[in-house]
Structure 1
Amino acid sequence: MTIGEVVLLTGASGWLASRVADALLKDPLTPNAFLIVTDIAKPRLEADNVIAVQADLTDNDQIDSLFTTAYGVPDTVYCMHGIMSRGSEDNFDLGLKVNVDSVRSLLETTRKHGNLKGKSIKFIFTSGLAVYGGPLPPIVEPDTSPTPQSAYGTSKLISELLINEYTRRGFIDGRILRLPTVIVRPGQPAAATSAFLSAIIREPLKGEVAICPIGNSFDSPQTELKTWVASSKSILQNLIIAKHIPASKFTPHTRVVCLPGFTTTVREMLEALRQVSGPEALRRVVFRDDETDRRIVRSWPEKADNSYALSLGFVKDEGGMVPVVRRFKDDVQAGLA
């Protein structure tokens, strides 16, 4: 068997990482790709060129075993596992163990096997808006200082710093992607603070009730809360694009990139739901204001500068919320969401 490019992907039982795995198998720029997919629950992806492994990434020996499968040492690692934002806030110790300690162990293992093979393995890390907090400028620029206001954001920033340092020293070829809030995610709600932003669109389009923890009604002042989002379609495209960007294109001092997004409010999202699917869909949203969720979301950026990311070749959404909701409705009706 001739092995082509090998990609290791962690967190592969999660919705986003599983979609990245599917996209890698179809990527025309990665012909003959071979995937090693892993998570605490064995990923369900099945294909001739996929090895699915159940692994606890807080165990160093289990991490090492991912680099010694029949496919050999990966050429690229997608680090996408973790305890999500509200989960990290509620269980601080577990969040540190998974979101910091296991990432460092994965970095060390990537460094070790890269050295043995005489190559710098690409290491693509999904970070997010939670690294920001406190008083922020109207537009987050590439040099805006991250000051996280949550356990999740703090752990992501620690991992970012490690990846930058490992890259500076030539141990790995890091690419750190700060994702906007991804909408609309299919499947079951995650333990992320931002999960409601998908739920208030997804559940009503499926004929189900959704809880909105921001405000007590559609017209509540709190629903004017702004957030920085991107469609699942553009996020998936950009996660694949990240693998193909030459290392020389990144700025010398950091591998952090804020992926392109757009600004919306909770009310605009709900209004898009009403425009696409009518007032009956909107009536399925139940408001239960949650101060903790509101505090965390309010600490995130409202807008970021897209210019650096676009100069690297990443793509952005056009047209705001309505096309995003309409596309997801089409997926629901087609049984794809």
Structure 2
Amino acid sequence: MFRQWQTRTLKAIAWISLASAIVGMFIGFLRASEETIFTDVSIGMLTGILIGFCCSFSEFFVFSNSRLRMARQMPLWQLMLLRTVVWCGCILAGMSLPIWLFGLPWQDLDTYLIENFVISAAIAFAFSSGIELSRLLGPEATSALITGRYARPRLENRVVLFADLIGSTALAERLGELQFHAFLSDVAQDFADPIYKTHGDVHRYVGDAVIVTWPLEKGVKNGASLHCALGMHRILDRRASFYKKKYDTEPRIRVAIHCGQVAAGEIGDWKKEIALLGDTMNTTARIESAARDLGERIVLSDDLVKSLPDTIGTSIRALPAYEAAGKQDKLTLWAVDLHG
């Protein structure tokens, strides 16, 4: 999964650099005279590549890198300011290096330096604000609120994942409110990696649980939702020593995954959110209860198993029919072998 993330990230950086090169060439063309068109277009292209590459590289591998906790734990205003300063440095370097490489007099840079830098810095700050807004609301919710996709409720087919910490009540009593909050924050940051890599969207944090969703096609493709659950377990196992040292515990989770139709739409006025309602959400909660009652770590609904590809890279086994509260029919469920 990490190699897949690296490949996707490098492709994204390449596309951003290419788009920046095209923009730079266009600006160079607009400002060029007949005698300097080749030089100006070439400088514009190189400037665009440098700015696009440096800014996107710093974003993906530093500011948006879930493995670098220091950046993600900074206050919002500090992170936005730091990102803007770094991007402005990338912009200055991108504007200066091509002049030096082409051996042109520095007066050529001074002509548009202030104008270009102010425009670029404003764009950098706007992008930084947009990125943090997207992180605050979630990429899908941000896009939906801007486009108005959920201004009126609509029916969608989705995969829903509930991940719940085991033994959190006793842990909260032992740690106290502030330490327990810090503990949940660390767990949430660890979960960000498998959620991002499987293209999931955090719908909501509910106490010690997290709800993740995918459009049905994305959630079942290559078993993405299942691999997200497995990734959550693996990252907690890998960081067990960290949690043991800091909180004197090794966190464990139960995961329930189901799929079906939900009603999605905006709720609220001063504070809006995208609400997902319906039997699919209720059934997923019942499946999480089944995982607790049956002592299983990952439990899948029969509907999800039927939608997954034949090869999912792990073994599953049938569980006894489960009689869930509020459901007329017993649930057909499957357990995942974590070591399969």
The verdict on a shared fold, with TM-score over 0.5 as the criterion, is: no
Higher helix share: 2
TM-score bracket relative to the smaller structure = under 0.3
TM-score normalised according to structure 1 size: 0.26
TM-score normalised according to structure 2 size: 0.26
Q: Which has the higher contact order (CA 8 A, sep 6+)?
A: 1
